[in-house]
């Protein structure tokens, strides 16, 4: 179905990647991770009170998974004052000091940290300092459920963003939608293989709000105790109210500007006047529904939109959205094509010329980290709208299985680990591409310079 131009398959390793990996160990091997059973968890927790440190998307999702598996949660703990006092699934969020300074609570507590790895390490250090022991008194939720599945419920998008591979119709043809019927089969198989599955992102490169079955898919996830993550360009909101009523755990809005002159350059085909109005509608709708869904504004910072950071930050404060500034980069397909040929795709050049960090510097940074594991090792399985299994959420033009329902998880992991796509990616050190954590200091500096605090 996909028509791949020659530039994207030149210097192609063997289709299964075995020849390449014979001399270059894979940096994307997920087989080392153990998936906990319910009995494993019972032995780990004992009779202690369970606290989840982190009340965001990951924490909420894991809470639902615990409830599904027959456990109870005493409380969330979170240092974000916006979260303290809030409830999710009738479970209250307390400040960390409420637990950490109370020896009576600590003696019977088991803490599960629910954040990204760098934040988890900070939590581990604090818990170590008060005498808790990792593996006995606390672990990260990734210990129990190490994988982050992604399901593309919409195989098409209504925009042609210049940084995204979907801007090039010669490379990516539009797909269709995953039905509720098919999704039900997929998700029920998934929780059998990953008992503590707690979060599923319902997008890869498509626009999930276009799928009329999306509200029912979210409600099915809720019934099964799985948090739904969404990302939208918010240009088409015909299903927004129904989606919000279904209460996904998190909805991310992708922005690359706060005016027609900036936004419409990089979110190609989008209209800022429409998105601006839709953001207001989203904020009002979220407030009316009690802010049960975490709304995150993912702001891609380019050279041409830095001065608009304050506008978006103020909007987030007004509507209780979370502001997530990020370094704008190209999608991996374009980075790979450029790395191979030295020639920038004409569609991608628009975004590339505006990036804060130029592409050659980004590629050099990847090479310096080439010895490290792939940053997407845990993103498995990745399932397309037609039930085929993709090797990676960064590359949409390949599959490692025709139907997810017909292949075991361990076989997916093995095929992905040794795939030609992974071999080609790692050959160019792109398994470290878009490592946002590495640029967090630069992003923070740019935000401070352009946002009067």
Residue ranges of domains in the chain: 6-24+146-450, 36-144
Query: For residue 157, what are the contacts with CB-CB under 8 A and spacing of at least 6?
Result: 164, 166, 174, 205, 206, 207, 210, 233
- 57/43 Cα distance (integer angstroms): 26
Reported as a pLDDT band with limits 50, 70 and 90, residue 172 is low
Distances (CA, A) of 274 to 40, 234, 266, 328, 358: 50, 8, 16, 22, 31
pLDDT range class, residue 71, cuts 50, 70, 90: very high
CATH code reported for the domain at 36-144: 3.40.50.720
Residue 163 has pLDDT above 80, yes or no: yes
Least confident of 49-53, 63-67, 163-167, 231-235: 163-167
Residue 233 has pLDDT above 70, yes or no: yes
For the stretch 319-343, pLDDT in tens is: 999 999 999 999 999 999 999 999 9
Q: What is the pTM of this model?
A: 0.87
Q: Which residues contact 19 (CB under 8 A, 6 or more apart)?
A: 13
How much is the pLDDT for 169? 57
Predicted pLDDT of residue 142: 92
pLDDT higher than 70, residue 199: yes
Q: Which CATH number fits domain 6-24+146-450: 3.40.50.2000, 3.40.30.10, 3.40.1410.10, 3.20.20.70?
A: 3.20.20.70
pLDDT digits (tens, 9 = 90+) for 94-146: 999 999 999 999 999 999 999 877 888 999 999 999 999 999 999 999 999 99
Give the pLDDT score at 174.
65
Distance of alpha carbon 199 from alpha carbon 252, whole angstroms: 14
């Amino acid at each position: 179905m996909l028509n791949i131009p020659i530039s994207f398959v030149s210097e192609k390793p063997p289709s299964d990647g075995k020849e390449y990996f014979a001399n270059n160990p894979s940096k994307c091997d997920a087989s080392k991770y153990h998936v906990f059973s319910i009995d494993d968890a019972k032995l780990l927790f004992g009779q202690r009170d369970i606290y989840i440190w982190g009340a965001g998307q990951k924490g909420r999702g894991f809470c639902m998974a615990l409830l599904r598996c027959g456990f109870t949660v005493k409380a969330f703990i979170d240092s974000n004052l916006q979260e303290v006092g809030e409830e999710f699934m009738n479970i209250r969020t307390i400040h960390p000091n409420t637990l950490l300074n109370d020896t009576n609570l600590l003696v019977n507590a088991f803490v599960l940290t629910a954040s990204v790895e760098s934040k988890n390490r900070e939590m581990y250090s604090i818990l170590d300092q008060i005498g808790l022991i990792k593996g006995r008194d606390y672990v990260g939720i990734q210990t129990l459920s190490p994988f982050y599945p992604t399901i593309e419920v919409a195989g098409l998008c209504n925009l042609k963003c210049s940084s995204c591979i979907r801007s090039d119709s010669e490379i990516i043809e539009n797909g269709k939608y995953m039905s509720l019927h098919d999704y039900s089969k997929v998700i029920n198989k998934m929780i059998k293989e990953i008992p503590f599955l707690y979060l599923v992102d319902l997008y890869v490169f498509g626009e999930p709000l276009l799928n009329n079955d999306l509200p029912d898919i979210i409600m099915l996830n809720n019934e099964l105790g799985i948090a739904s993550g969404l990302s939208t360009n918010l240009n088409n909101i015909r299903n927004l109210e129904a989606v919000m009523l279904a209460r996904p755990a998190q909805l991310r809005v992708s922005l690359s500007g706060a005016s027609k002159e900036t936004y419409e350059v990089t979110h190609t085909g989008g209209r800022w006047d429409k998105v601006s109005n839709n953001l207001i509608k989203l904020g009002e709708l979220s407030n009316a529904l009690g802010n049960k869904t975490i709304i995150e504004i993912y702001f891609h910072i380019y050279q041409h939109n830095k001065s608009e950071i304050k506008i978006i930050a103020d909007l987030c404060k007004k509507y209780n959205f979370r502001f997530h500034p990020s370094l704008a980069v190209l999608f991996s397909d374009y980075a790979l094509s450029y790395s191979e040929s030295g020639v920038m795709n004409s569609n991608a050049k628009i975004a590339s010329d505006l990036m804060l960090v130029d592409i050659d510097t980004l590629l050099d940074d990847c090479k310096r980290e080439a010895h490290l594991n792939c940053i997407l090792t845990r993103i498995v399985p990745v399932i397309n709208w037609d039930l085929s299994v993709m090797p990676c959420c960064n590359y949409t033009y390949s599959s490692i299985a025709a139907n997810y329902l017909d292949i075991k998880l361990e076989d997916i992991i093995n095929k992905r680990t040794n795939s030609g796509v992974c071999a080609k990616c790692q050959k160019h050190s792109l398994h470290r591409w878009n490592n946002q954590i590495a640029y967090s200091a630069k992003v923070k500096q740019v935000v401070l310079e352009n946002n009067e605090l």
